[in-house]
Structure 1
Amino acid sequence: MTLSAPEDAPLKLRDRIENEILTGDMPPGFRLDEVTLATRFGVSRTPIREALFQLASAGLIEIRPRRGAVVAEVGPERLVQMFEVMAGLEGMAGRLAARRHTDADRRSLTDAHEACRRAAETGDADAYYYENERFHHAIYAASRNAFLIDQCAALHRRLKPYRRIQLQVKNRVANSLAEHEAIVAAILNLDGDAAERLLRDHIVIQGDRFSDLMASMSERAGSTAAKGR
């Protein structure tokens, strides 16, 4: 399938490969050959190489000497552990943001929140995800802690595909937006305790939310397999 719209082709390409990894169409150990992928998606090897680099940064693939790029394996237990750490980091960023945010941070945060609201109204979970990403990075920036910003951004990249796919779960976008509303209020009201707690709860995946994520991934894998038959 040839990708249209040159300006957003790299993003769409990465998302297409990412989706096939998450749904099991490209299982762990699957070799990602640049030439084969370029032919399949109707693009040159340059955007393929860029997409693979981004996916390697996110930990979805491994680039091995003499073997090239292969799909990595991330088990459920490891996934939960990563979300637990992400929740802790984001909670800390929220606490610091409540104490340290500037007028510019306030504008960035409220603008990002409004963009999330507009995206949610379209019903497009992927559009919401990208505005959601901007929202969280606004919180990191408002923490005014360069090291924490780097750590949050790095783990955010690592969890990006899972954070995106969990928004496909029914009502998750609406719930996420409501959670954002409370987070923004806590930060702007200088309530560090509430900001930390709300962000931790917003990020951590456990219980029903973890089951929903796994079910969503399983459902998409089954749908992909059925199409292939």
Structure 2
Amino acid sequence: MATSRGVLSTREQITDRLREDVFAGRLPAGERVSEAALADRFGVSRGPIREALSQLTSEGLFVTKQNCGVTVAPPAPEPIRDLILPIRRTLEVYAFKQIFDALGPDDFRFWDDVLFRMERACRQREWQLLPQLDLEFHRYVLEKAGSPDLFAIWQTIVTRLRAHFWETVREHDARNDLLRLHGHHAELLAAFRKGPKAAAVKALEQHIDEN
């Protein structure tokens, strides 16, 4: 699998898939995960599974407890989320400033595709897909920046914010305005396209603060 991070190893692909499962709610907090079952699912030995679980545990997405094995960690409590949201904004804004001048047609095609899938999910009320699509939109900024350290820090931050993404989706769903989630990202992408850099950065900061 090729991404902005290059061709991903088997371990990286499994790590990404499991992370997506947690954000989509397919692996809820407290659920125990089995190395053997995951090895069967992905058709690999336990080695890459163990490495993926170790990576996700270091990010805070899984926890290991004696006599309980590996389970999905609960999301960060609200006071912690309030503390780390500004850190997420700082990281994304820094990365975006690094890439803005190099943005081209391929980048906007990627974001357009994410928005297409996001709009479809909103219209079909496939709300379980929306947190991951939201992250996919923003993750691209970090991937394109090309700094493994920056990406790793950002990834660790957003895994602890997954409750924030779920709450945002649920609030919009309760008001029957899921399409506003798509609208927020469409407005942000329009700011990226239009520029100038300072205005695009301001739009990104406002988007993160308000969403």
Q: Check whether TM > 0.5.
A: yes
- Which residue of structure 2 lines up, in the alignment, with residue 110 of structure 1? 112
- Pair member with larger Rg: 1
Return closer, same or farther for 1:112/1:127 CA change in 2, 3 Å cut-off: same
> Share of identical aligned residues, percent?
16
Return closer, same or farther for 1:98/1:183 CA change in 2, 3 Å cut-off: farther
Q: How far does residue 89 in structure 1 lie from its aligned partner after superposition?
A: 1.6
Contact 2:115 2:185 in 1 (8 A): yes
Q: Which amino acid aligns with 2:80?
A: R
Work out the CA distance in 2 between the residues paired with 1:111 and 1:160.
Answer: 23
The C-alpha deviation readout for 1:73-111, integer Å capped at 9, x for no partner, is: 733221111212112222233333332213321221222
Q: How far does residue 58 in structure 1 lie from its aligned partner after superposition?
A: 4.6
State which of 82, 85, 90 in structure 1 corresponds to 2:84: 82
State which of 181, 193, 200 in structure 2 corresponds to 1:195: 200
Contact 2:56 2:62 in 1 (8 A): yes
Structure 2, unmatched stretches of 5+, are 1-16
So what's the TM-score if we normalise by structure 2?
A: 0.64
Contact 2:99 2:144 in 1 (8 A): yes
Return closer, same or farther for 1:189/1:17 CA change in 2, 3 Å cut-off: same
Farther-moved stretch of structure 1 (115-124 vs 150-159):
150-159
Return closer, same or farther for 1:110/1:56 CA change in 2, 3 Å cut-off: same
Work out the CA distance in 2 between the residues paired with 1:12 and 1:144.
Answer: 21
Work out the CA distance in 1 between the residues paired with 2:76 and 2:107.
Answer: 35
Contact 2:61 2:159 in 1 (8 A): no
Work out the CA distance in 2 between the residues paired with 1:61 and 1:11.
Answer: 10
Q: How does 1:190-229 map to 2 (within 5 A)?
A: 190-204=195-209
Work out the CA distance in 1 between the residues paired with 2:117 and 2:82.
Answer: 29
- Which residue of structure 1 lines up, in the alignment, with residue 63 of structure 2? 62
- Which residue of structure 2 lines up, in the alignment, with residue 125 of structure 1? 127
State which of 90, 93, 99 in structure 2 corresponds to 1:91: 93
- Which residue of structure 2 lines up, in the alignment, with residue 224 of structure 1? none
Return closer, same or farther for 1:72/1:134 CA change in 2, 3 Å cut-off: closer
Structure 1, unmatched stretches of 5+, are 1-8, 27-31, 210-229
Return closer, same or farther for 1:12/1:181 CA change in 2, 3 Å cut-off: closer
Return closer, same or farther for 1:11/1:100 CA change in 2, 3 Å cut-off: closer
Return closer, same or farther for 1:91/1:127 CA change in 2, 3 Å cut-off: same
Work out the CA distance in 2 between the residues paired with 1:147 and 1:57.
Answer: 14
State which of 178, 182, 186 in structure 2 corresponds to 1:177: 182
Contact 1:93 1:196 in 2 (8 A): no
The C-alpha deviation readout for 1:168-195, integer Å capped at 9, x for no partner, is: 1135743322221121112122322232
Contact 1:141 1:149 in 2 (8 A): yes
Q: Which amino acid aligns with 2:76?
A: V
- Which residue of structure 2 lines up, in the alignment, with residue 44 of structure 1? 37
- Which residue of structure 1 lines up, in the alignment, with residue 139 of structure 2? 137
Contact 2:63 2:70 in 1 (8 A): yes
Work out the CA distance in 2 between the residues paired with 1:55 and 1:165.
Answer: 22
